[in-house]
A and B are shown apart, each in its own frame.
Chain A
Amino acid sequence: MEQPIAAAGLTKTFGDFTAVDGIDLTIEPGESFAMLGPNGAGKSSTMRMVSTVSPITSGSLRIFGMDPHVDGPAIRDRLGVVAQENNLDDELSVVENIILYGRYFGLSWKEARAKATELLGFAQLEDRADARVTSLSGGMKRRLAIARALVNDPDLVLLDEPTTGLDPQARHLLWQRLYELKERGVTLLLTTHYMDEAEQLADRLVVMDHGTIVAQGAPAELIAEHVTREVLEVRYPPEAEIDLESLGLRLESLTDRILIYTDDGEATMTELVNSGRTPSSSLVRRASLEDVFLALTGRRLVE
């Protein structure tokens, strides 16, 4: 199969504002790829260009080897798009949403109906087939949006913040569905500002900030490259004046706590206690992509 996405110097501007600032991106068939970054990093603008609905400002972009400006319909025939905002057809029932979407892709009524039955099963919405879309919960709507995006058996599925605003249970259910797609060999491109989502689903990811790519690689590689194996989180009473700088530790001060990057959290903790710097609370955990983002930009993903 041709490369699903190949972008070089891809740029998108809106007036004076540069949303995407010359990014290079290639995604191989079957890969599960994430764009991680805070709101306004340029993730959604990139998604919209890849989905062919937003013209690129400059640079080059090829989807399955085709130019989105010229071959929009042929590209979209092989794409499944789950937009960030819910854009289900509120005037239709659950099953009609999938059937009619199949018709837009040129499926016959018979094919579209068969596909709808199959996808309702996939989305675990069989018992809601005739319900109005407006009566569904947030998690169900998102599952329906994903089911609808699969009606044309896409080779590449784009998911813009698929689990934003969902409760933990709904997120895990959704991740299962996406994992199943990945197992089937479907290429996935997703944006998220949750590092655990990227860690769960992505083979490879880019960290984006202010329209540029600040780091890329596999989740474990990025953690190894930019932060330590473990992180010790400590809290001190607000009035306490503790000097940690002189210990020569790698620190990151947040409003409510201090992160200490270390390869052995327990040993560092012992060091703090022994030097009379016992914190009021502490926690040792494995380093995450959130720490990578913080180390790279000095800011957190979700403010």
Chain B
Amino acid sequence: MIAFLLPWRLVERNVIFYKRNPVVLLSAALEPFIFLFGLGVGLGKIVGDVTWAGEVLTYPEFVAPALVASSAMNGALFEMSYNFYFKLKESGTFEAILFTPLRLSHIYDGELVWAMLRGGIYSIVFVVALWVFGLLASPWAVFIPLVALLVGLAFAGLASWATTYVRHWQDFDLFFLVTQPLFLLSTTFFALDVYPEWCRPIVQATPLYHGVDLTRDLARGTVDVSAFGHLGYLLAMVAITRVLAVRRLAVLLQN
């Protein structure tokens, strides 16, 4: 059997599970729309226009591309925290699969691919909707779903690694204590120059900022050399978290 197809078995498993529980998929797909209308349109009435990269944008135009990145993050976090924890520590699903010819890395990669595909489909739907609403200004926007996939993969890696340290469900409170500020403060809802000078490097060091800045550049057609920095950051995050997570899983499951 071709080795790279082995992780696909895990994707099949997840497709079968979600086919019977489509409501979960649907509610997650609605998330960016809710934020777009709730914050973009609602809050936008108060905020008014935003100046970004020398261009004056309506608030929905400003927020919409960022929501693609942040919902890719949220989708990956959900899939690779609660769901991953359940299969790792509660139901023994991963333990059982390790008694088959599949290896730990196949299981892990299968879960990552699934999280990425799931997030990817959401982001395509959302990007098409944004196009229809006239909130995207540049043909570069066709690359936004790819960036969303990368953001999803990077956060799926981070979340799964962190989840290997979770001891009981209550620990996830800590987890979201970290991710909520990331969601709110990564220039998703206000531009970097709103922050005090000293604070900006901190924001720029966090992972979601890179996804948000890149999707916004693609949406407005203001792509420049900084794109390589953003991509490099996210790719490095994928590679590093994968090594760390697989190592931790071996400690937990193959001791």
| Interface, chain A (partner B; CB < 8 A) | 14, 51, 53-55, 72-74, 76-77, 79, 81, 83, 85-92, 96, 100-101, 103-106, 148-149, 152
Contacts and interface: CB of A to CB of B under 8 A. Distances in A.
17 contacts: A73-B102, A76-B99, A76-B100, A76-B101, A83-B96, A83-B99, A85-B92, A86-B92, A87-B91, A87-B96, A91-B17, A100-B13, A103-B13, A104-B100, A106-B101, A148-B96, A149-B99
A296 B247 CA distance: 42
Given A14-B255, A92-B16, A87 B9 contact: no
Nearest to B95: A87
Interface residues of B, number: 22
B12 A100 contact: yes
Contact of B99 (A51, A90, A106): A51
A206 B66 CA distance: 64
Nearest to B18: A91
Given A72-B103, A76-B101, A104-B102, A90 B9 contact: no
A105 B103 CA distance: 11
Contacts of A74: 101
Nearest to A82: B99
Majority secondary structure, A binding face: loop
Q: Which 8 A-B pairs have the closest CB atoms?
A: A87-B92, A104-B100, A81-B99, A73-B101, A87-B96, A90-B91, A91-B17, A77-B101
Nearest to B20: A93
Nearest to A85: B92
Given A54-B254, A83-B92, A83-B96, A89 B13 contact: yes
Contacts of B86: 91
Contacts of A85: 92, 95
A58 to B, nearest CB: 16
A106 B95 CA distance: 18
Contacts of A106: 1, 101
Given A89-B91, A92-B13, A104-B100, 8 more contacts: A53-B99, A87-B92, A87-B93, A87-B96, A100-B12, A106-B1, A106-B101, A149-B99
B93 A89 contact: yes
Nearest to A14: B255
B101 A103 contact: no
B128 interface: no
A101 B12 CA distance: 11
